Amino acid sequence: MLENVTNPTEGMTAKEMLGYYQKKALQDAIEGKKKGELVCWSSSIAPNEFCEAMGVHMMYPENHAAGVGARHGAMDLINVAEAEGYNGDNCAYARINLGYVKAQTCVGDQIPLPDFVIYCNNICETLVKWYENLANELNIPCIVVDVPYNYEYDPPERSVNYIEKQFKTVIKQLEEICGRPFDYERFEEVMKISVESCNYWMKAMGMMGVKPSPMNGFDVFNYMALIVMMRGKVGCRDTFKKLYEELQEKAANGFMAMKEGEKYRFMWDGIAIWPYLGPTLKTFKSMGMNLTGSTYPGAWNMSYKPGDLHAMARTYTTVMNNMNMERQIDINVDCINTGTCDCVTYHQNRSCKCMCMLNAEKMVAVSEKTGTPYVSFDGDQCDPRNFSEAQFATRIQGLYEMLEEAE
């Protein structure tokens, strides 16, 4: 068995379980590092099932950077990175993480340095040089999963075959790094748990579509940490199963997440603005607008048949940032319909250009298909210098007025 049969979270709410397992993952990594166990830093949508099967402690620089940003500590590390020559046009997550490697201190949680890194460029190409730099600076191995961009609507077989071959190489690399044979039996069990975790994650997120929504959509951004860093662990699966059950019960009882009333429902396209989560939430809340749809959480919908490496390879190439325009449009339309959204907000994220580079065309096409009004606003996932509260409030006020006029 992967986990002890004793359940340490018995009687906890999903929110309490979220906090417990986040803290446990960090503490386990810190203690494991002291005992000589391996720690890996991973990109957010790399196939962590391989490392999990080998008992490697996984830490996620993107998660860590988001936490630092939410605690208003981003600039301390960004300044360190920029003093080292990293340009301000680079991803803020990367600058925070590279600054952390130099400073080895930050606001909030301190994560142990890695013994090796793994990245998968299915979400962006910045990861290539970011993780190469980490490996060079720390003199550690770097495992790479290269994923071709999908110019076609569905991933072509040649791409899936290419990724599957790389997965087999990852196994060999892990055997060398860990100094023991790959545990295929545990790997299949981890795959099963990962798929179950993602299944409950998507079911819970789907509950936002209920009217009135039993969930404030901004809570999604907090829960997302677990699906990124622990989807192959029983604790992750159990947390999202609990969350889904809680939301079902709330919906059955007519619970309304927005006590003031849910006048309008909107979709948020893009990453959250971590240093300004409070102000962005308050702006929407003041107008009775609830976030009931987001394309971002669906990126972790890892659905495949456990034991099938080919199906797993297909899943890891089918990530929104790696999809062509036509499929991205359909994903947005589906998200709007599932969340019964009245409008859309597009975060033009200076840190994540690959996520918003298609927005100029996409938001027009989505609006034409759904009839929903939209606005875009400038921002940044973690660099507070690239976001204006005043501009954001003005744009959302304009969207609210469009909705009012349409009634």
Residue 152 lies in a domain: yes
Residue 132 lies in a domain: yes
The whole domain housing 261 covers 14-406
Residue in the structure block whose two tokens are 């630092």: 68
Residue 7 lies in a domain: no
Residue 128 lies in a domain: yes
pLDDT of residue 218: 87
Residue 1 lies in a domain: no
Beta strands in 24-175 (DSSP E): 39-42, 57-59, 116-120, 142-145
Q: Are strands 374-379 and 343-349 parallel, antiparallel or unpaired?
A: parallel
DSSP secondary structure string, 210-246? SSS-SS-TTHHHHHHHHHHH-TTSHHHHHHHHHHHHH
121 to 117, 124, 269, 302, 380: CA distances (angstroms) = 13, 5, 20, 16, 20
How many CB atoms within 10 Å of residue 105?
11
Q: Round to whole Å and give the CA distance between 241 and 204.
A: 8
Residue 65 lies in a domain: yes
Partners of 266 in the β-ladder: 291, 343
Count of the separate structural domains present in the chain = 1
Residue 4 lies in a domain: no
Helix 92-103 / helix 126-138 crossing angle, nearest 10 deg:
10
| pTM of the full structure | 0.94
Partners of 144 in the β-ladder: 119
Print pLDDT tens along the chain (407 aa): 344 457 889 999 999 999 999 999 999 999 999 999 999 999 999 999 999 999 999 999 999 999 999 999 999 999 999 999 999 999 999 999 999 999 999 999 999 999 999 999 999 999 999 999 999 999 999 999 999 999 999 999 999 999 999 999 999 999 999 999 999 999 999 999 999 999 999 999 999 999 999 998 888 888 999 999 999 999 999 999 999 999 999 999 999 988 888 999 999 999 999 999 999 999 999 999 999 999 888 888 888 999 999 999 999 999 988 999 999 999 999 999 999 999 999 999 999 988 888 899 999 999 999 999 999 999 999 999 999 999 999 999 999 999 999 87
pLDDT of residue 86: 95
pLDDT of residue 1: 39
How many CB atoms within 10 Å of residue 87?
8
pLDDT of residue 3: 47
CATH code for the domain in which residue 192 is found: 3.40.50.11900
Helix 74-83 / helix 61-70 crossing angle, nearest 10 deg:
120
Q: Round to whole Å and give the CA distance between 255 and 249.
A: 9
Residue 362 lies in a domain: yes
